[in-house]
Structure 1
Amino acid sequence: MKGNFKDIINDAKPILVDFYATWCGPCKAQSPIISELAKEVQDSVRIIKIDIDKNPQIAEQYQVRGVPTLVLFKNGAMVWRQSGVQSKQQLQKIIDKHK
């Protein structure tokens, strides 16, 4: 991740954060869903991935206890959060709600 996390999530555009771990099976299942979603939403939302093992302070700050955990931020505020694998349709619905 490049840049300061707080600066990144303070954008007016929705920011979808995928908290994951390289050793996590469900995270590996979520990854292609996130990639496909990124192609479809393009500029309407920014999607970033945070490896909890490389960024433990961010994971702790947002109390990420299980992975994958997906969090949607807008203007620096957490507007949605869910742990576990999410479908592309579910994620699209959440993003559309917070555009």
Structure 2
Amino acid sequence: MTFSRRFFATAAVAATFAVAGLGTAFAVDATPYSDAAFKAAQTAGQPILIEIHAGWCPTCKAQKPIIDKLAAAPKFKDLKIFRVDFDDQKPVVKGFGAQMQSTLIVFKGATEAGRSVGDTKEASIAALLDKSL
């Protein structure tokens, strides 16, 4: 079997894209929400993101890679992300005053610093996360 120059060029480009994608295509693990862990992070003065999430929500699915990308940035290395399940943790959702899934709430220690609902723009989510620093 002979391979053409075009085949090798195409393979080289595909490999380059695959390797380049590996550097940015990793997920940041959100911690399942618990009152104790949340209070400990607040007491420690950590920047915190509360992510009100539903597995069936297309907006939540669109937010996830943006949050993963931003959380991987060095300036957000200390950001603690807590995921609240919109369907299974209704008392917690209500406690945060969230009316719907895809709600993002940031805390700077014990103080709420900002929130957004249904946002899927990287720039505005980054601006929201900045408020936690």
Q: Could you say which TM-score interval applies, normalised by the shorter chain? A: 0.7 to 0.9
* Corresponding position of 2:106: 72
Compute the TM-score of the two structures, normalised by the length of structure 1. 0.82
- Across the two proteins, how many residue pairs are aligned to each other? 99
In structure 1, runs of 5+ residues without a counterpart are: none
Compute the TM-score of the two structures, normalised by the length of structure 2. 0.64
Higher helix share: 2
Which segment is superposed worse, 81-90 or 66-75?
Answer: 81-90
* Corresponding position of 2:8: none
Give yes or no for contact 1:21–1:51 (8 Å, CA) kept in 2: yes
* Corresponding position of 2:7: none
* Corresponding position of 1:54: 88
Where 2:65 maps in the other structure, the secondary structure is helix
Answer with 1 or 2: which has the greater Rg. 2
* Corresponding position of 2:47: 14
Once residues 108 and 76 of structure 2 are traced to their aligned partners in structure 1, the CA distance between those partners, rounded to angstroms, is 16
In structure 2, runs of 5+ residues without a counterpart are: 1-31
Deviations, residues 46-70 of structure 1 (Å, cap 9, x unaligned): 2222112222111011121112000
Aligned sequence identity (%): 28
Pick from 59, 77, 87 the counterpart of residue 26 of structure 1: 59
Tell me: higher relative CO, structure 1 or 2? Use CA pairs within 8 A at least 6 residues apart: 1
